[in-house]
């Protein structure tokens, strides 16, 4: 007659193996997800801060050229705060009503910053069809003072 209760020695040690295997299978994707979300959030903060500071710098500058130089410097500092490489960004400045002069009184300055965020732990030499970077874009609009011509 077969035994209905297996001996306790037959199952010894299998719980530790199961916990270890399941722990690794669940923990590795969870850690990668946290790293990816942190990288994307940092890039979003960097893009938003760079756009906002660049728009403010242009809107309060005395001349258009001075404003664009100050905007480049402000965006570079904002991106460096979040450890975003300057080569991974692209910015665009639009001015209204005169696209050639951002210092028009009562005008507006629209700055768009796009950051290509590299996925964490992905080797650059890996040639796959999946995207290796996620684009993050932010924009900010700043009004130019109606007294800008008086400066």
The answer to whether residues 107 and 147 touch, using CB atoms and an 8 Å cutoff, is no
Kindly list the distances between the CA atom of residue 143 and the CA atoms of 55, 88, 110, in Å, as whole numbers in the listed order.
9, 28, 9
Determine what percent of the chain is predicted with pLDDT higher than 70.
Answer: 83
Contacts of 145 by beta carbon, 8 Å cutoff, 6+ apart:
59, 60, 105, 106
Per-residue confidence band for 149, with pLDDT thresholds at 50, 70 and 90: low
Q: What is the pTM of this model?
A: 0.77
Per-residue confidence band for 12, with pLDDT thresholds at 50, 70 and 90: low
Copy the structure tokens of residue 61.
Answer: 């500058």
Per-residue confidence band for 124, with pLDDT thresholds at 50, 70 and 90: low
Nearest to 138 by CA among 99, 101, 90: 90
Query: Is residue 42 classed exposed, middle or buried when 0-12, 13-18 and 19+ CB atoms within 10 A define those classes?
Result: middle
- What is the average pLDDT across 71-78? 92
HEC assignment per residue over 40-70 = HHHHHHHHHHHHHHHHHHHHHCCCHHHHHHH
């Amino acid at each position: 007659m077969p035994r209905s209760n297996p001996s306790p020695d037959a199952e010894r040690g299998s719980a530790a193996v199961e916990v270890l295997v399941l722990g690794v299978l669940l923990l590795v994707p969870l850690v990668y997800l946290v790293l990816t979300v942190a990288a994307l959030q940092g890039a979003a903060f960097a893009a938003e801060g760079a756009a906002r500071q660049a728009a403010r710098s242009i809107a309060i500058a005395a001349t258009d050229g001075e404003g664009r130089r100050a905007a480049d410097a402000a965006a570079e500092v904002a991106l460096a705060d979040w450890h975003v490489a300057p080569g991974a960004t692209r910015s665009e400045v639009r001015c209204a009503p005169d696209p050639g002069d951002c210092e028009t009184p009562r005008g507006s300055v629209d700055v768009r910053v796009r950051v290509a965020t590299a996925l964490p732990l992905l080797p650059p030499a890996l040639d796959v069809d999946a995207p290796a970077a996620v684009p993050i874009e932010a924009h900010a609009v700043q009004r130019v003072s109606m007294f800008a011509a008086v400066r």
